[in-house]
Amino acid sequence: MGGVTVSLPDATRSDRVYPLLQNLDLENLAFATLQGVGETLNIEEMNEDELRRLVLVNLARLTVAGEWNGLLTAASGGSSEFPMGASSAPDAISGAGVLVQYPMFFPQAKLETTANSVVRFNKNQMNFFPFWAAKDGTMDSMTCRITATNPDDLVVALYSNDSDKGVPVNAIGTKVVWDMGAASGVITLDLSGVGDWDIEAGNVYWLGMMLETDNTNRPTFYVFDADEGPSWTIPANDTATEDYILEKSSYYVGSLSDGTPPTTVSAPASDIAYVPWITFTLA
C-alpha cells in the first residue's frame, strides 16, 4: 500500500483494495473499513486478485495488532471481537448504530395487555423474576409498557442468584424508583446515573419489583400470557413427586418496610404471577 505498486504473483494492478486503503496504515485500519471494501466484491474469477489482496491486508492487520485470535474470530480495529459465524459485532444485532435491547425474561407466550398482577401490588412485599445475562456490562436502562394511567410507582432492585439453591440472595447496587408516568404507554427507566447494576454473561440474576407507597393504584402491564403459552418456571418443591408442568413464575418476600427492598433475601416463597414484558440495555 502507500503507493507501492508491486503485485501478487501473476496478479493484475489493483483497482479497488489498494486504492481504497492507500492512505491508511495497518495500525489504524479498522476491520469495519476492510469489511466495507470487500462487501461489494462479487465472488468470481475476475475478482480473484482483489480477494487475495483483501485476505493479505487483513492478515497483515492482525499481525501488527498481535491479534492471533483474529484468525479464528473476526476483529474490529484491535478493540473488540465476536465469535466466528457472527455476521457483525454485538452492537449491530439490529443494524449498525442501532441500540441493542435484551429481553429481560425469556418465556415463550403471546402478549397479554390486560393483566394487572405482575407483582402483588403491595408496598411491603417484593416479587423476584429471574433473567439470564447474555453479555457483560452495566445495565443502562429498562423499558416496559403499561395500559392504564396510575399515580403509584415501582421500586426495583437487582439481585444475585444463590447458585446452591437457585433463588435470589443479595441485592446488587442501588434500589431505584421506576416512575410509571402520568399516561399509559412505553416507559423507560434511566439507569445511567446509577452505575452499579453490573451483570456478567452467563449468570442468572433476579429483578425485584414492589410498589413504592400505594396498594390501590396499580400499574397494568403488558405481560406474558400464562393461559396461552408455557408458564414461566422457577424451582419449586410443592409436591412430593415430579411435576410435568411447573407453574411457579416468581419468588416473593413479605413483611418488608414500605417501598424498601431487602438487602438479603431469606427463605423466599414461590408464587404464581404474571411476568412483565421488559427489555434492558447495557452501557
* DSSP conformation letters of 188-234: EEE-TTT---EE-TT-EEEEEEEESS-SSS---B-EE-SSSSPPP--
| Backbone angle region of 208, left / alpha / beta, with phi > 0 → left and psi within -120 to 50 → alpha | beta
Check residues 153 and 149 and name the one with the higher pLDDT: 153
Dist. CA 242–CA 119, nearest whole Å: 27
Bridge partners, 74 (sequence order):
82
Of 37, 60, 92, the domain-final residue? 92
Q: Is the pLDDT of residue 263 over 90?
A: yes
Same domain? 169 vs 253: yes
How many domains is the chain built from? 2
Q: Quick one: pLDDT at residue 55?
A: 84
Report the distance separating Cα 68 and Cα 222, nearest Å.
47
Question: Is 2 a member of any domain?
Answer: no
The grid coordinates listed for 28 are 489504524
Pair 62, 179 in one domain: no
Q: Is 223 in contact with 274 (CB distance < 8 Å)?
A: yes
Residues 66 and 151 in one domain: no
pLDDT tier, 96 (very low <50, low <70, confident <90, very high otherwise): very low
To the nearest whole number, what is the mean pLDDT of the chain? 77
Task: Decide if 144 is inside a domain.
Answer: yes
If you average pLDDT over residues 9-20, what whole number do you get? 78
Residue 78 has pLDDT above 70, yes or no: no
Shared domain for 218 and 242, answered yes or no, is: yes
Domain C-terminal end among 92, 119, 147 = 92
Q: Is residue 10 part of a domain?
A: no
Average pLDDT over residues 12-16: 80
Residue 8 maps to a domain:
no
243 band by pLDDT with thresholds 50, 70 and 90: low
Q: What is the pTM of this model?
A: 0.63
151 and 272 inside one domain: yes
Q: Indicate if 81 and 116 belong to the same structural domain.
A: no
Residues 55 and 121 placed together within one structural domain of the fold: no
Q: Which of 47, 64, 92 is the last residue of a domain?
A: 92
Sequence letter at residue 245 = I
Is the distance from CB of 163 to CB of 182 less than 8 angstroms? no
Taking 90 as the threshold, does the pLDDT of residue 30 lie above it?
Answer: no
Contact 126, 269 (CB under 8 A): no
Q: What residues make up the domain containing 67? A: 17-92
